[in-house]
Copies of this chain bind each other. A is one copy, B any other.
Amino acid sequence: MRNLNAENITDAVIEQFSGCKDERLKSVLNSLVSHLHAFLRDVEPTEQEWTDAIDFLTRTGQMCDDKRQEFILLSDTLGVTMLVDAINHQTSNPQITESTVLGPFYVADPPEAGQGDAIDWGVEGEPFFVEGRVLDDQNKPLANVVMDVWQSDSEGFYDVQKELDSASLRARFKTDEQGRFAFWTVTPSPYPIPTDGPVGKMLELTGRHPYRPAHVHFMLITEGYETLVTQIFAEHDPYLDSDAVFGVKDSLVRDYQLRTPGKAPDGRDMQTPYRYLKYDFGLKAS
């Protein structure tokens, strides 16, 4: 293994992985080396471009901490996350809710909340009542499903992006015996993904906007069913067809209905206009 050149180096690297006892790891690395080398032979980077790429990846890693995940942003903006999602969650059954990207703002074990609670701690905005049911693919209600909800505020920021003493617009619910859930929040707005890091610079240099259409995130977990990670998008949002992370599916777009003051669906007496969304989720048996 000497005197390697642009033609024979790929086989030489793959040969070095031949002793790997983990067959899955070996096949993933063999494929990675083949595709990565093919990319390099295709673009023929200069040494300065290679240095710039090393620097970009290094800064992307260094931008990450317990509240920021720049490599997930990179994966999202290159369509990698949605491709992995598509590979893992193919369904042709319209009763099953489609999945989409997790995004970089999920926080494990959010505060627990009860049926109908408000989760808009510390923020102002247009009141938004969300309710629905969680069903299986035969429309049978599923009780005690763990449902994590998280979203941006009306200015497009998540709690972890702000200096808050406590979680906000983020909670864990459980469906009741009829599979129902309900909560009050504020209407989310479209927002840019964080642009102060290497990924934001990449979008700027390539003339891409960083916006995502308004949405609420959901993660649904219950035994016997595949975990569902999804988002419900607001109809008529200007960014539905150019989502910076490629996550929009028609089945996940709904009218966030604007309602006039009066009695809300849960009996609350509303003095101001508010929005209303009713959505039934369908889980796939695992």
Report the contact-size class of chain A (Cβ under 8 Å from the partner). Answer: 35 or more
Determine if A177 is an interface residue (Cβ-Cβ < 8 Å).
Answer: no
Given that A242-B1, A248-B2 are known contacts, is A84 also in contact with B17, CB under 8 Å in the complex? no
Q: How many copies does the complex hold?
A: 2
Stretch at the interface among A64-72, A112-120, A146-154, A183-191: A64-72
Determine if A25 is an interface residue (Cβ-Cβ < 8 Å).
Answer: yes
- Contact among B39, B59, B87 for A41, CB-based, below 8 A: B87
Determine if A246 is an interface residue (Cβ-Cβ < 8 Å).
Answer: yes
Stretch at the interface among A133-141, A167-175, A205-213, A272-280: A205-213
- Contact among B28, B35, B46, B207 for A38, CB-based, below 8 A: B35
Of all chain B residues, the one with the shortest Cβ separation from A241 is B1
Of all chain B residues, the one with the shortest Cβ separation from A229 is B47
Q: Can you list 29 contacts pairing A with B, beta carbon distance less than 8 Å?
A: A1-B242, A3-B248, A4-B86, A5-B86, A5-B90, A6-B83, A17-B208, A20-B206, A20-B208, A22-B206, A25-B205, A27-B43, A31-B39, A31-B42, A33-B79, A35-B35, A35-B36, A36-B78, A37-B79, A37-B80, A40-B80, A41-B87, A44-B87, A46-B88, A50-B81, A57-B60, A57-B61, A58-B61, A61-B71
